[in-house]
Amino acid sequence: MENNKKHTIIVSAIPENGKVNIEIGFINQEPKLGYDETCHILASAISLLIRGTTKIDGTKDYKLMRDIIEHLNSEFVNLGSFDDPYVNPNLFDNP
């Protein structure tokens, strides 16, 4: 990731036919990110949101973190969860 450069990751959730399609995109004018960098930024955003939620409404951060980890585990254990993933390598710095 380039120093002093803004990186914007856009995540869209689109309900369709009983499932939710997730689209991840970027701003064209910004430097591209690699796969790993993108994953780490999104993980940091989730951590920040979990901690921030605790301060706003009193949600227990450890409970929300556990729920998120369980959600991730269930997605990877269920082979049908991601039976049609597509990653456009042209969007990333190191496809």
Rounded distance between C-alpha atoms, residue 19 and residue 22, angstroms: 10
The 10 Å Cβ neighbour count of residue 53 is: 14
**pTM given for the model:** 0.79
Q: Convert the pLDDT of each residue in 26-74 to its tens digit.
A: 998 998 899 999 999 999 999 999 988 887 877 888 899 999 999 988 8
Residue boundaries of the structural domains of the chain: 31-91
Closest by CA position to 9, among listed 29, 34, 38: 38
